[in-house]
C-alpha cells in the first residue's frame, strides 16, 4: 500500500508540520516515507504545500502528481489540487474556510469544519491536527497512538501541556468521519 | 543507530561533519541555505570554523586557502552561486587540492528561479571554469545516498587531491527522508605532505600554485593531471542498473529524476512494456561502458534520457552508445519536474516509432 498525500493551505496553517508529523509517524511504524515541501518566497498568508508518501515499498518519485488523498485548508488549495486526486481517492476540505463544494464525483469528499473545532478547543492553530485526525481515521496511513508518540517527543518540558490538546484535536477530527 | 527523518541539506551538512570537515565557507542562496545554517551551528561545537563570506568568490578562495593548508573543507551553493565559484574551482583543480563543493541546482540560466533543476550538468561535468581539468561529480538520488556520498566525497578528494562536487537538485536539498548515518568505509589515504603548514623541520617550503608560465612545464602539468583523471575513470565509476533484462527501452536518468523514471517503469510494466534504467551516480567519470553494453543487448530498441534540463546528459549517453541504438531525450526545465505519466507517454511514442 502506498499513500501519496498532498497537503496545502495558507502559510501559518501548519500544513508543513502536519506533513512532517505524518511522515514521522509512518517512519515509526517502519514504513518508507518522504516529505517534500514546496519552497520559495513563501510567508505567513502565502500558499504552502507539501507532498508526503508513506509506503511499504521504497519510495519512488517524491513528487505527488496522482494523490491517494489531498488535505486542503483553504480555497486556493482546493482549486489547485482537486484535480490531482486519483479516482476513488480522498479529499479533505476545511469547510470552515472554503466556501465551495468539491466538483469531482469520482472521489470521496469529507467536509471538516477544522477551524471551528479548533476554536472550540481554544486555539485556531490546532486546525491542522483536526484535519490530520480525520485523514488517518479514513486512510489508516498511520495510527493515532504513533502520532501521539511523536507529539510527546517534540512537546517536552513546558510545552508538554499541549499534548492533551493535540490528542483531543485528532479525536475531534476523527469524529467528523461518520 | 535508528533511522531518523532528515532534511537533505541538513543531512549533507551533518555527513560532512562526520567525515571530518572542519571548515565551511559559503554565501546564502536558495535552495541550499540549510547547509550553511546547519554548519554555523555545528562547526563551533566540534572545534571547526564556519564563516559566511562576503561573496561566493571570496568563499571559494577561502576554500582554496584551507585546502592548501591540508584541512577538510567544504562550500555549498546553488546554480548562480556556483557559476561565481568557477574561477576558484579551476585554480583548486590546477593546484591539485582536495575539497568538496555542493551544488543544489535550481532553474537557470541567469538568476533563473529557485525550483529544482538539472541544467548545471554541463557546467559540473565538462569543466565549468577555464582550462583542461576535471572534477569528480556525485549525484545522489535520495537523502540516504547523499549522506553516504558526502562522506565518501572527502576521501575521494583527499585520495586524488582533486575537488569533488555533490550535484543535487532543489528537491534533494529540501526533501526529508529517513537517514541512518552508517560508518562509510574509510579509505587508506596518503599523508598530506604537500600541505602548507610551515616548515616543520623541512628545508624546502611547500608551495601551492596554479601558475605555470613556461609552456613546456604547463603542458607537463596538464599531462600529469590527465594521468590522474585516467586513474579516477578506472577506479571511481558508480552506477545503478535497474531492470535491464529484457528491456525494450532503457532510460538514462540521475538524481531525483531517476526515481520518477522508476515509477514510469512500473507503469509501463503494467501495460506490458519492459523498460530499464541506467542511473549514473558518478556523472564524471561517466559510466560509458554500462551504456555501451546495454546498447549491444538485442532486446534494447532505444535509449531515452530524462532530465530536468533541455538535454545535457543525453550527449554523454550518445557518446557512450556510439550510434548502436537511437538515443532520445525528454526533459522539463526551469524548475518544472517531469511526471511519470509524461515519461510513459514519451516511451510509448518512441517504441511505436522504433518498431
The domains of chain A are located at 2-175
pLDDT value at B123 more than 50: yes
Say what percent of chain B tops pLDDT 90. Answer: 95
Residues 6+ apart with CB under 8 A from B22: B43, B46, B47, B48, B49, B71, B72, B73
CB–CB of B171 and A33 under 8 A?
Answer: no
Answer for the pair B347, B328: CB distance below 8 angstroms, yes or no.
no
pLDDT value at B273 more than 60: yes
Residues 6+ apart with CB under 8 A from B195: B68, B69, B70, B206
pLDDT value at A45 more than 90: no
Residues from chain A contacting residue B3 (CB–CB below 8 Å): 27
Element (H, E) at A32: strand A32-37
Pairing of strands A32-37, A47-55: antiparallel
CB–CB of A63 and B115 under 8 A?
Answer: no
Residues from chain A contacting residue B170 (CB–CB below 8 Å): 39
pLDDT in tens, B143-199: 999 999 999 999 999 999 999 999 999 999 999 999 999 888 889 999 999 999 998
Mean pLDDT, residues B282-293 taken together = 98
pLDDT value at B93 more than 60: yes
Residues from chain A contacting residue B260 (CB–CB below 8 Å): 60-61, 63
**B3 and chain A in contact, CB less than 8 A:** yes
Grid cell digits, residue B119:
541544467
pLDDT value at B354 more than 70: no
pLDDT at position A43: 60
Kindly report which listed range (A70-74, B120-124, B351-355) carries the lowest average pLDDT score: B351-355
Arithmetic mean of pLDDT over chain B: 97
Arithmetic mean of pLDDT over chain A: 95
Mean pLDDT, residues B39-46 taken together = 98
Q: How far apart are CA B305 and CA B179, in angstroms?
A: 29
**A65 and chain B in contact, CB less than 8 A:** yes
CB–CB of A61 and B340 under 8 A?
Answer: yes
Q: What is the CATH number of the domain that holds B271?
A: 3.40.50.920
Answer for the pair A177, A162: CB distance below 8 angstroms, yes or no.
no
Domain boundary among B212, B235, B258: B235
Say what percent of chain B tops pLDDT 70. Answer: 99
Closest CB from B115, B177, B263 relative to A34: B177
pLDDT value at B353 more than 80: no
**A40 and chain B in contact, CB less than 8 A:** yes
Q: How far apart are CA B121 and CA B90, in angstroms?
A: 16
CB–CB of B171 and A27 under 8 A?
Answer: no
Band (pLDDT 50/70/90 cuts) for residue A41 is low
What is the distance in angstroms between the Cα of A55 and the nearest Cα belonging to chain B? 12
pLDDT value at A69 more than 60: yes
Residues from chain B contacting residue A34 (CB–CB below 8 Å): 175-177
In this structure, the answer to whether residues B112 and B190 fall within a common structural domain is yes
In this structure, the answer to whether residues B52 and B190 fall within a common structural domain is yes
What number of C-beta contacts closer than 8 Å exist between A and B?
63
pLDDT in tens, A155-178: 989 999 999 999 999 999 999 998
In this structure, the answer to whether residues B231 and B247 fall within a common structural domain is no
In this structure, the answer to whether residues B174 and B33 fall within a common structural domain is yes
A54, β-bridge pairs:
A3, A33
User: Beta-carbon neighbour count of residue B222 at 10 Å?
Assistant: 15
pLDDT at position B355: 47
Residues 6+ apart with CB under 8 A from B160: B98, B136, B228, B231, B232
In this structure, the answer to whether residues B26 and B93 fall within a common structural domain is yes
Answer for the pair B37, B65: CB distance below 8 angstroms, yes or no.
no
Strand order in the sheet with B282-284: B49-52, B23-26, B73-77, B99-105, B163-169, B136-138, B282-284
**B78 and chain A in contact, CB less than 8 A:** no
Q: Which residue has the cell 489531498?
A: A70
Closest CB from A27, A36, A41 relative to B3: A27
Q: How far apart are CA A133 and CA A150, in angstroms?
A: 14
Mean pLDDT, residues B113-118 taken together = 96
Kindly report which listed range (B44-48, B150-154, B198-202, B245-249) carries the lowest average pLDDT score: B198-202
Question: What is this structure's pTM?
Answer: 0.96
Range of the domain at B348: 240-354
B3 backbone dihedrals φ, ψ, rounded to 5°: -70, 140
**A48 and chain B in contact, CB less than 8 A:** no
Total domain count, chain B: 2
Closest CB from B31, B259, B341 relative to A62: B259
In this structure, the answer to whether residues B281 and B323 fall within a common structural domain is yes
CB–CB of A39 and B114 under 8 A?
Answer: yes
Q: How far is CA B214 from CA B60, B98, B220, B221, B249, in A?
A: 27, 25, 10, 11, 51
pLDDT at position B1: 63
CB–CB of A60 and B262 under 8 A?
Answer: yes
Q: What is the CATH number of the domain that holds B231?
A: 3.40.50.970
Pick the CATH number of A2-175 from 1.10.10.10, 3.30.70.3270, 3.40.920.10, 3.40.1350.10: 3.40.920.10
Residues from chain A contacting residue B269 (CB–CB below 8 Å): none
What is the distance in angstroms between the Cα of A83 and the nearest Cα belonging to chain B? 15
B329, β-bridge pairs:
B305
Mean pLDDT, residues B237-260 taken together = 98
CB–CB of A65 and B339 under 8 A?
Answer: yes
pLDDT at position A17: 96
Pairing of strands B282-284, B249-252: unpaired
Angle (deg, nearest 10), helices A144-154 and A127-139: 150
In this structure, the answer to whether residues B279 and B193 fall within a common structural domain is no
Amino acid at each position: 500500500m502506498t499513500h501519496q498525500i498532498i497537503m496545502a493551505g495558507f502559510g501559518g496553517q501548519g500544513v508543513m508540520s502536519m506533513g512532517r508529523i505524518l511522515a514521522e509517524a509512518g517512519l515509526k511504524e517502519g514504513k518508507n516515507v518522504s516529505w517534500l515541501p514546496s519552497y520559495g518566497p513563501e510567508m505567513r498568508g502565502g500558499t504552502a504545500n507539501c507532498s508526503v508518501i508513506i509506503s511499504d515499498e521504497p519510495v519512488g518519485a517524491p513528487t505527488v502528481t496522482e494523490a491517494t488523498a489531498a488535505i486542503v485548508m483553504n480555497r486556493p488549495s482546493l482549486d489547485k489540487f482537486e484535480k490531482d486526486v486519483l479516482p476513488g481517492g480522498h479529499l479533505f476540505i476545511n469547510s470552515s474556510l472554503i466556501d465551495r463544494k468539491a466538483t469531482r464525483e469520482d472521489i470521496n469528499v469529507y467536509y471538516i469544519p477544522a477551524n471551528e473545532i479548533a476554536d472550540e478547543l481554544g486555539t485556531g492553530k490546532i486546525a491542522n491536527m483536526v484535519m490530520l485526525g480525520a485523514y488517518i481515521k479514513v486512510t489508516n496511513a498511520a495510527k493515532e497512538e504513533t502520532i501521539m508518540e511523536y507529539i510527546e517527543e517534540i512537546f517536552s518540558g513546558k510545552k508538554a501541556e499541549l499534548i492533551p490538546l493535540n490528542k483531543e484535536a485528532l479525536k475531534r477530527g476523527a469524529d467528523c468521519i461518520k | 543507530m535508528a533511522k531518523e527523518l532528515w532534511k537533505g541539506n541538513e543531512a549533507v551538512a551533518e555527513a560532512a561533519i562526520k567525515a571530518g570537515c572542519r571548515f565551511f565557507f559559503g554565501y546564502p542562496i536558495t535552495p541550499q541555505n540549510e547547509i550553511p545554517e546547519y554548519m554555523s551551528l555545528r562547526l563551533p561545537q566540534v572545534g571547526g570554523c564556519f564563516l559566511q563570506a562576503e561573496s561566493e568568490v571570496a568563499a571559494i578562495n577561502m576554500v582554496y586557502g584551507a585546502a592548501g593548508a591540508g584541512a577538510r573543507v567544504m562550500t555549498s551553493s546553488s546554480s548562480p552561486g556556483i557559476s561565481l565559484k568557477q574561477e576558484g574551482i579551476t585554480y583548486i583543480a590546477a593546484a591539485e587540492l582536495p575539497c568538496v563543493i555542493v551544488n543544489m541546482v535550481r532553474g537557470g540560466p541567469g538568476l533563473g528561479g529557485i525550483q529544482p533543476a538539472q541544467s548545471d550538468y554541463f557546467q559540473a561535468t565538462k569543466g565549468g571554469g577555464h582550462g583542461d581539468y576535471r572534477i569528480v561529480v556525485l549525484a545522489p538520488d535520495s537523502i540516504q545516498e547523499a549522506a553516504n556520498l558526502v562522506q565518501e566525497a572527502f576521501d575521494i578528494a583527499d585520495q586524488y587531491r582533486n575537488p569533488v562536487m555533490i550535484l543535487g537538485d532543489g528537491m534533494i536539498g529540501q526533501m526529508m527522508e529517513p537517514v541512518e548515518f552508517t560508518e562509510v568505509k574509510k579509505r587508506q589515504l596518503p599523508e598530506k605532505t604537500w600541505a602548507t603548514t610551515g616548515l616543520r623541520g623541512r628545508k624546502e617550503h611547500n608551495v601551492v600554485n596554479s601558475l605555470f608560465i613556461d609552456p613546456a612545464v604547463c603542458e607537463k602539468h596538464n599531462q600529469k593531471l590527465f594521468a590522474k583523471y585516467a586513474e579516477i575513470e578506472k577506479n571511481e565509476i558508480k552506477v545503478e542498473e535497474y531492470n535491464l533484462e529484457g528491456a525494450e527501452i532503457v532510460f538514462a536518468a540521475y538524481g531525483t529524476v531517476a526515481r520518477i523514471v522508476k515509477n514510469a517503469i512500473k507503469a509501463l510494466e503494467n501495460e506490458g512494456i519492459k523498460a530499464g534504467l541506467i542511473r549514473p551516480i558518478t556523472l564524471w567519470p561517466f559510466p560509458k561502458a554500462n551504456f555501451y553494453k546495454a546498447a549491444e543487448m538485442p532486446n534494447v530498441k532505444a535509449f531515452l534520457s530524462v532530465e530536468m534540463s533541455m538535454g545535457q546528459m543525453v550527449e554523454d549517453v550518445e557518446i557512450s552508445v556510439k550510434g548502436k541504438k537511437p538515443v532520445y531525450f525528454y526533459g522539463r526545465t526551469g524548475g518544472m519536474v517531469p511526471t511519470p505519466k509524461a515519461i510513459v507517454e514519451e516511451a510509448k511514442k518512441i517504441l511505436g516509432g522504433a518498431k
